[in-house]
Amino acid sequence: MFQKILIANRGEIACRVMATAKRLGVKTVAVYSDADANAKHVAMADEAVRIGPADVAQSYLQADRIIAAATAIGADAIHPGYGFLSENPEFVEAVAKTGLTFIGPSADSIRAMGLKDAAKALMVEAGVPVVPGYHGADQDPYMLAAEAEKIGYPVLIKARAGGGGKGMRLVEKPADFPEMLAAAQREGLASFGDPVCLIEKYITRPRHIEVQVFGDTQGDVVHLFERDCSLQRRHQKVIEEAPAPDMTDAVRAAMGKAAVEAAKAVGYFNAGTVEFIVDGSGPLRTDGFWFMEMNTRLQVEHPVSEAITGLDFVELQLNVAAGQPLPFTQDDLVLNGWSMEARVYAEDANQGFLPATGTLHQLKFPTGSEFALGDVRIDSGVSGGDEISPWYDPMIAKVIVHAQTREAARGLLEAALEASQIAGCVTNIEFLAALARNEDFAAGRVDTDLIARDLDSLIRQDGPSELAVTLGAIAAGGLLPNRSADPWDAYQGMRLWGTAEHIVALGVADHDQTVRVSVHSDGNYTVNGLSLSIAPTPDGWRVTTDGYQQNAQTVVTQNSVSVFANGQCDTFKISDPLAQDDVQAGGGDFVMAPMPGLVAQVLVAKGDTLTAGQDLMILEAMKMEHRLSAQRDGVVAEVLVTAGEQVSDGVLLLQLEPEDD
């Protein structure tokens, strides 16, 4: 076994690898950029080495610096995690040249599976079924459009070097093909340095089922069952589960055999995943799945497979990389229960899932001991007080549950998400909890279009509850009961000679709301005419109104207050009631950057006449493209940025001519 390993990654996966390494007594080395100097993975490692500035291209993609750091600090091996350099064959070869061990597959295997077009051709030779499509090298747009016509719409454009939904576009009609092709090529070039795309038939009711494989250097390859990753948004996985709903023994055996054959075709060893697109229009069939791609690394969703097999995949990776054979055969592996994983991101579901930034003033997840149904595991690369920056993927944590049945696992996932509390940054937790409650998901009727079909029901439509506004105002005014043992401290905010009334201004949605709070001598409150009492609990407050009691928690910062109640979080800005309300500059007259990012394309010019909803420009942030559109009809007065320009959050991008009075 290795004595010391360097993890060439950051965040959640770096922490995940370190956890196993520490359990095995293996020393760990972190690498970090300037933005990550105080990150959790740096603090968790035995040693850490700076490799560059915040920009990924100047830090985590600097192979030479990472290898030099590993050599200088005396590491035996390098674990790549996922993303960054994990599937870069040149990096693997460079690691080997220094005498270090790469904890992953060979460069030849990565290269064989790295380009989707070549991989599909190889799978055809190996007898693995593939989706009909064009996988050639000719990238002439007119030729590709003609191939799409031959395949038949809808088609899927995919960057051949892509992954994680990047460089992928669904095209439903010929008129949209040129624009979608250009977008996929841009994203492929930006994310992977390769704009080449392939075209595939889009399966109209698709499921995404992948098979975990493991191989050793002695030539043995096994599969560790399947994961269903059909719950996706913009081709990015949201909730994963293992095993797959409605999977039969016959189909599992067929898919497992195909996955093992795919791995053997490229001499594969270490951890890998073979992904299949599956016909979900009816019961699963042995002739109803097709090879999509192989991920030659550990997957983000590997914990669900660990849960149902009882294995530690990172430990297996280390052992295989050290030359040890797999400690089991295919017949030794058995399924145990059901597992689900939800990816918690800093993103705003009500704003088209725009990535968000902020400081994690509150970061609280449940533990398994809080639930009787099964186990809860949290994999995270951040801690309370950390900042979610625009430089990297906005994942905060993975909530993983394991129980004996699918319904128990689903209920446990819902409960765990509702019990999670994050303040200081907008997250998708409520969206994930709603998805866990979704009727089709609960029944196991999953496909990759489920989220798009049911999006309106998955996104919260109403504003904050009366409880949230009431408790938020009391907390913002510093009027909550004091937890001090001194009985006099319980009477803060009240007067002996009369009722004290406090005016609190909260920023609710897009407007300020004035709340009148009266504190009575008996410690009760009247808030905008509503009478209530508040009593401390071990982790929050119990609010009683008209004999009805509710538990809630509050987090107050200098500029905001967050209220957690009934599985929901409402955050309000704390406003100055004496200050003049800022006037929204012309309503829709200005377009501001909703986040820091790169202006990838400007689609309009000064003097252009616009219609509401028309695309104005494309902003690239957190590895994804985001289209900014006009909020009203109008004429472009000024375009204040150019393509290729880096902009900050809130920067003015474009101005329209004022509307006539």
Give CA separation, 133 vs 146, 205, 290, 406, 410, in Å: 12, 17, 12, 35, 36
Residue among 160, 186, 297, 406 flagged as catalytic: 297
Q: Strand 221-233 to strand 133-134: parallel, antiparallel, or no bridges (unpaired)?
A: unpaired
Alpha-carbon distance of 398 to 432, in angstroms, equals: 11
Structure tokens at 171: 């095209």
Residues forming a β-bridge with 602: 617
With a CB cutoff of 8 Å and minimum separation 6, the contacts of 410 are 340, 436, 441, 442
The answer, yes or no, to whether the previous bond of 390 is cis (omega within 30 of 0) is: no
Alpha-carbon distance of 525 to 519, in angstroms, equals: 5
Closest CA to 653 of 640, 642, 644: 640
With a CB cutoff of 8 Å and minimum separation 6, the contacts of 445 are 245
- Residue written as token pair 């594969």: 268
Alpha-carbon distance of 297 to 317, in angstroms, equals: 10
Question: 516 an active-site residue?
Answer: no
Residues forming a β-bridge with 171: 155
- Residue written as token pair 């009961």: 481
In the three-class reduction of DSSP (H, G, I as helix; E, B as strand; rest coil), residue 616 is classed as strand
Alpha-carbon distance of 7 to 30, in angstroms, equals: 6
- Residue written as token pair 């900050």: 648
Q: Is 108 exposed, middle or buried (0-12, 13-18, 19+ CB in 10 A)?
A: middle
Alpha-carbon distance of 115 to 159, in angstroms, equals: 9
Alpha-carbon distance of 174 to 182, in angstroms, equals: 14
Q: Which amino acid is at 90?
A: E
Which H helix or E strand runs over 636?
Answer: strand 634-639
Active site residues: 297
